[in-house]
């Protein structure tokens, strides 16, 4: 029988290496966020949400191609039911993360209501077929209710999740531990890694727990002013998915002896998972910071643009507009003549070509213009964002 003590410990023991890792992550995230123009951040954020969804899907064994995610966001769905359902799943994930990134989540991240809200918002956007959960042992089918805690017993691998009646008390203890006012900022950052495992261990819903845990961690990192729309821990977890799943399972194990903390679960296993999780965070911040260094991004886009002009797929005068979007974040349409050196009509033609192919975007026919990231140029502008073969 699971008790409140069964989830202990909730935090790793004080550890200099973990604290140094949390300090390095804080420094890197703050430095990266300060370097990008706010408008450029918004453009990158749209791209990263799609990337986050792609990698989160991949962890679940759903290989939804980036181009299919892009089409889903444009409302273009496949005729094949299974592929269409995966597109709808991808769109649901992105829309929930948009709400989080825009601070439109109506509850605290660290609350039962917040956790149920994330699950509910995601699941109510899914087709009915994806809300059916099948018991692999009995074949029983259960219709999952979005945002509703599970009412039955489940087993995930070797882990037998807590009884349904213990979910609310365990989440109350979970919330209390990770939002404790006496925790330092560093302890709270370390707690993000630990809480990612412990939420998965509680397994509050019949399905969708992995995805909710990753959305939860994203939201909690944002609340702690470490996370942002500029990077995604899911990419790091997916690129190391075997270690991710192995260390999650390892942290499920009982205490290994007198030298393994004082709780019911292994302290060493929790510490190892937390180090792994925060290391993935740091790796992804560093990766995106390198990828978006203005001078290097400018060089990659200029090389691409020159090739497109040479192949007559873009008009001459395109590069000055792309450069301005990268350096200034956005520009008014009235600046096109000055930037290109062309007469008004010719300048409009250049701008229209760039808008038509999606490398520049605008919220309205007369609105300001900013950089866009259409999926077909991503590998040239931002190499290694997605796997080479997709």
Instruction: Find out whether 50 is annotated in a ligand binding site.
Output: no
Q: Which CATH superfamily is domain 16-292 in?
A: Fido-like domain (1.10.3290.10)
Is 203 one of the catalytic residues?
A: yes
CB atoms under 10 Å from CB of 302, counted, come to 14
390 is in an annotated binding site: no
d(CA 117, CA 65): 27
Q: pTM here?
A: 0.94
pLDDT at 388: 66
Return the DSSP state at 165. G
**Alpha carbon distance 186, 203 (integer Å):** 26
- In DSSP notation, 86-123 reads HHHHHHHHHHHHHHHHTT--SS-SSSHHHHHHHHHHHH
d(CA 285, CA 289) in angstroms, rounded, equals 6
Residues 235/286, Cβ–Cβ less than 8 Å: no
207 labelled binding-site residue: yes
- Which one of the listed residues 119, 197, 203, 218 is annotated catalytic? 203
- As averages over each run of 10 residues, the pLDDT of the chain (390 residues) reads 94 92 97 88 91 95 92 95 95 97 96 98 96 80 94 90 97 95 93 98 96 97 94 96 97 90 92 98 97 94 98 97 95 96 95 97 95 95 81
**Could you tell me the CA-to-CA distances from 108 to 103, 175, 259 in Å, in that order?**
10, 10, 36
- Pull the structure tokens for residue 328: 């200034």
Report how far residue 297's alpha carbon sits from residue 359's, in angstroms, rounded to the nearest whole number: 13
Tokens 């951040």 sit on residue: 41
Distance CA 372, CA 380 (A): 13
Residues forming CATH 1.10.10.10 domain(s) in the chain: 294-381
Query: Which class would CATH give 294-381?
Result: mainly alpha
Q: What is the distance between the alpha carbons of residues 192 and 296, in angstroms, rounded to a whole number?
A: 32
3-class DSSP state of 331 = strand
> What tokens appear for 232 in the block?
């995604």
Residues forming beta bridges with residue 133, ordered by sequence position:
142
Contact in structure between 7 and 264 (CB atoms under 8 Å): yes
> What residues does CATH 1.10.3290.10 cover in the chain?
16-292
What integer pLDDT is reported at residue 37 of this predicted model? Answer: 84
Note whether 167 and 150 are within 8 A (CB).
Answer: yes
Residue 93 marked as a ligand binder: no
- Annotated binding residue at 210? yes
């Amino acid at each position: 029988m699971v008790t409140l003590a069964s989830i202990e410990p909730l935090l790793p023991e004080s550890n200099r290496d973990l604290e140094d890792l949390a300090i390095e992550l804080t420094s890197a995230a703050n430095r990266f966020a300060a370097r990008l123009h706010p408008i450029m951040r918004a453009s990158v954020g749209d791209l990263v949400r799609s990337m986050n969804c792609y990698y989160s899907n991949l962890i679940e064994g759903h290989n939804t191609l980036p181009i299919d995610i892009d089409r889903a966001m444009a409302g273009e769905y496949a005729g094949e039911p299974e592929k269409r359902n995966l597109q709808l799943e991808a769109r649901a994930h992105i829309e929930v993360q948009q709400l989080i990134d825009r601070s439109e989540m109506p509850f605290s991240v660290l609350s039962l209501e917040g956790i149920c809200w994330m699950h509910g918002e995601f699941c109510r956007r899914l087709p009915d077929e994806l809300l059916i959960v099948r018991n692999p042992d009995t074949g029983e089918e259960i219709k999952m209710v979005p945002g509703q805690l599970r009412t039955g017993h489940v087993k995930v691998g070797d882990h037998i999740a807590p009884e349904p009646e213990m979910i609310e008390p365990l989440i109350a203890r979970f919330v209390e531990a990770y939002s404790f006012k006496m925790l330092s900022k560093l302890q709270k950052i370390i707690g993000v890694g630990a809480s990612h495992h412990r939420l998965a261990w509680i397994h509050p819903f019949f399905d969708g727990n992995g995805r909710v845990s990753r959305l939860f961690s994203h939201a909690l990192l944002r609340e702690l002013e470490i996370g942002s729309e500029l990077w995604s821990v899911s990419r790091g977890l997916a690129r190391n998915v075997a270690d991710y799943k192995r260390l999650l399972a390892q942290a499920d194990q009982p205490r290994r002896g007198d030298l393994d903390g004082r709780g019911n679960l292994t302290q060493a296993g929790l510490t190892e998972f937390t180090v792994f999780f925060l290391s993935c965070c740091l790796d992804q911040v560093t990766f995106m910071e390198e990828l978006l260094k203005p001078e290097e991004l400018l060089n990659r886009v200029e090389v691409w643009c020159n090739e497109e002009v040479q192949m007559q797929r873009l008009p001459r005068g395109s590069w000055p507009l792309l450069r301005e979007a990268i350096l200034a974040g956005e520009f008014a349409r009235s600046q096109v003549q000055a930037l290109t050196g062309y007469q008004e009509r010719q300048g409009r033609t250049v701008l229209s070509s760039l808008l038509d192919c999606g490398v520049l975007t605008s919220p309205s026919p007369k609105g300001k213009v900013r950089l866009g990231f259409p999926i077909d140029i991503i590998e040239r502008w931002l190499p290694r964002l997605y796997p080479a073969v997709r």
